[in-house]
Amino acid sequence: MASLRTWFKATQPQSFVASLVGVALGTAIAWDHRRTFDLAGLVLAAIGVVCLHAGTNMSNDSIDFQRGVDDLPPHLVSPFTGGARVLPDAAVSLEAHRRVWIGFFAVAAVIGLVLAVTRPNGWILLVLGAVGGGIGVFYTLPPLALQYHGVGEIAVAIIFGPIVVLGSYAVQTGTLGWEPLLASIPLGLLVAAFLLVNEMPEHETDPRGGKRTIPARIGLEKSARLYEILVGSALVFLAALSILQIVPWIAVLGLVAVLPLRRAIAILRLHYREYPAHIPANAATIQAVLLLGVAMTAAYLVAAQAGL
C-alpha cells in the first residue's frame, strides 16, 4: 500500500500556490469592499479549490501515463515536468490513482454545493463552480481534453484568475464585481505563463501521445516569445489598474514579481532549447505567481486598514 507521502506527492502540492493565492486575493478584496470576513467560508473555499486542483493534476497524470506522454528521458524529468511520476515509477496502481482523483473531484463538488446552499446568492457560486469544475475535469479528460488541443493556458488563466478570485469574493460578499475580475487577470496570466514554460521541455515528446500543446504547435523560440508577452502583459495590466485607480494604488506592490520574472526571461533567452538548464526559469515563474498574489493581497488589506 502506498504511503501518505506518496499520495501527497501524487497531488503535485508545489502547484497549489496558484490556487491559494487566488483565494487569498478574492477574500482580501471582499474585506476591503465590505469589511466582511467569514472564516468558515474561506477555509471551505481553499479546501474546495485545492481539491479541484489536486483532482486535475492527478487526472492529467493518469491520462498522460496511459497515452505514454510521461515516458520521458531522464534529463527531462524535474519537479516541473513529467507529472508526479508515481504512475511511471509504479508507486501506486492506476486504478487506485483513478479512485483518488475521482474522490478529489467529488469533495470539491460537495464543498461547492455546501457553499452555494449556505451563502447569499448561492447561484453565483453554482455557476462559477460549474465553469471551474468543468474546466478542471475536462482539462485532460475526454471529450474536451483541453490541454491536448493547445488551450491549456487559456483554461488555467480562467480558473486561477477570474474563477478562483471571483468565487472567493462571492463566498464572502454574495456578489460579483468588476474590481475582483480585473484584479484577477494579472494572476491568471502568470499562471498561464507557468504552464507554458513547464510544457516547453516536452514539446517533442507530448505529440507522441497526441498532446498538441502550444510549444508542440509553435516551437520553442516562439513559445519563449509568447512567455515574455504573457508575463509582460500581466505586469503592464497591473500597473495600469493601479495608475487608473481601478484597484488601490498600493497594489502596484505586485510588480515585485518582476524580480524573478527578469531572471526567468534571461534564462529562457539563453537556454530555451536546453533542459535542465532552464529549470530555474520554471522555478522563478511560480515564485512570481506567489509574489504577485501575496503582494496584491497584502495591498488590499493595507488599503482597507488605511482607507486608501
Amino acid symbol at 12: Q
Q: Which residue reads 508545489 in cell numbers?
A: 14
Domains of the chain plus CATH, in order, are 4-306 (1.10.600)
The pLDDT of residue 50 is 97
- Helix/strand/coil for 78: strand
**Nearest C-alpha neighbor of 252 from the set 192, 308, 197:** 308
Distance CA(49)–CA(65), nearest Å, equals 24
The answer to whether the CB of 96 falls within 8 A of the CB of 54 is: no
The pLDDT of residue 126 is 95
The pLDDT of residue 308 is 66
Phi-psi region of 248 (alpha: psi -120 to 50; beta: other; left: phi over 0): beta
- pLDDT tens digit at each of 308 positions of the chain: 678 999 999 999 999 999 999 999 999 999 999 999 999 999 999 999 999 999 999 999 999 999 988 777 877 888 888 888 999 988 999 999 999 999 999 999 999 999 999 999 999 999 999 999 999 999 989 898 899 999 999 999 999 999 999 999 999 999 999 999 999 999 999 999 999 999 999 888 888 888 899 999 999 999 999 999 999 999 999 999 999 999 999 999 999 999 999 999 999 999 999 888 889 999 999 999 999 999 999 999 999 988 66
The pLDDT of residue 20 is 97
The pLDDT of residue 276 is 86
The pLDDT of residue 144 is 86
